[in-house]
Amino acid sequence: MIYPYGETLLSHLYPGSQHSSPCLEPAVTTFEQRLSLPSHHRAKVIWRLDAGFGGDDNVDWLLARNYQVLVKGHSNRRAAKLAQQVKRWLPVRTDKSVGRVQTPVSFSRPVHTFVMRHQTRQGWKYSYLFSSLNLQSLPTVVLYEQRGGAETEIRADKSGLALSKRRKHKRDAQEVWIILTDMVHNYLAWLTVNIFKDSPLANYGLLRVSRDLLRTPGYIEMKEDQLLSVKLLKTSPHAADLVACLERFWE
């Protein structure tokens, strides 16, 4: 789980063969505990989930806890059947359309069901969304597709922090490594928000920060655990911007 400003809230370690669906309830309950989330605030939280979490039982569990949901259903067979019920397709892009149908199952709260189709070389491919939000077809699809920020952060951890290349043979050791990676991720997120803000470096992602900025040659001067100076190689392409950010931060 990742905050809008880029910090990781929690990471759980599971075997590689673990299906996503059983992981939802532990993740949500941990989320509630970490944030001390009062039950009356749940109606303001939207869970945007991909098809791996999109079983009917998971959707109904979230609805029963008074959360808002925007979930991609997991059944390809159901998606194809629902597509036959669409009376009007609205274009999202040139290769993608959306239509609204009756919800095929009964949940503890009312939800809207939207069918999406996109063109492939083999023809149309279908999927569907369950939504408890009072939005029309196009805004619903746009909001769902914005969930990709978390996936981008995970890919950045795997490449920028070498998470996928450093694997431990013991479960506990691997979990410690993941926790350390989360700590580094959050420190870099803090760095971006607090030091690089309103600078040419503000839009750098975790990969570019770790690969380009943190590898800028230079040295620091310390005395009795106090930072006295930072000197960077002038010919480095990011040195001037980094120095400007640091000077502004320590003013």
What tens digit of pLDDT does each residue of 92-132 get?
988 899 999 999 999 999 999 999 999 888 889 999 999 99
DSSP state of 41: G
The answer to whether 35 and 45 are in contact (CB under 8 A) is no
In terms of domains, do 47 and 140 share one? yes
Sequence-distant contacts of 14-22: CB under 8 A, at least 24 apart: 19/52, 20/50, 20/52, 20/53, 21/52, 21/53, 21/55, 21/57, 21/58, 21/74
Tell whether 32 is covered by a domain: no
In terms of domains, do 42 and 78 share one? yes
Tell whether 10 is covered by a domain: no
* Higher pLDDT among residues 171 and 124, named by residue: 124
Model confidence at 62: pLDDT above 70:
yes
For 194-226, b where at least 16 C-beta lie within 10 A, e where not — what string?
A: ebbeeeebeebbbbebbeebeeeeeeeeeeeee
> What is the average per-residue pLDDT within 41-62?
93
In terms of domains, do 138 and 228 share one? no
Distance, CA of 72 to CA of 115 (rounded, Å): 10
What does the pLDDT read at residue 49? 92
Tell whether 4 is covered by a domain: no
pLDDT category, 162, cuts 50, 70, 90?
low
Model confidence at 4: pLDDT above 50:
no
Domain that holds residue 201: 173-249
And the tokens for 68?
A: 């808002």
Tell whether 73 is covered by a domain: yes
- Model pLDDT for residues 192-243, shown as the tens digit of each residue: 888 888 899 988 877 788 888 888 999 888 888 888 888 899 899 999 999 8
And the tokens for 32?
A: 């509630």
Tell whether 151 is covered by a domain: no
Distance, CA of 194 to CA of 46 (rounded, Å): 27
pLDDT category, 1, cuts 50, 70, 90?
very low
CATH number for the domain spanning 45: value is 3.90.350.10
Distance, CA of 235 to CA of 8 (rounded, Å): 34
> What is the average per-residue pLDDT within 162-183?
77
In terms of domains, do 141 and 188 share one? no
Question: Which residue's entry shows tokens 């939280």?
Answer: 45
Tell whether 119 is covered by a domain: yes
- Model pLDDT for residues 70-96, shown as the tens digit of each residue: 999 999 999 999 999 999 999 998 889
Strand ranges for 2-64 from DSSP E: 46-49
In terms of domains, do 56 and 134 share one? yes
What does the pLDDT read at residue 164? 65
Tell whether 15 is covered by a domain: no
Give me the number of domains the chain comprises.
2
- Model pLDDT for residues 126-150, shown as the tens digit of each residue: 999 999 999 999 999 999 988 655 5
Tell whether 9 is covered by a domain: no
Model confidence at 157: pLDDT above 90:
no
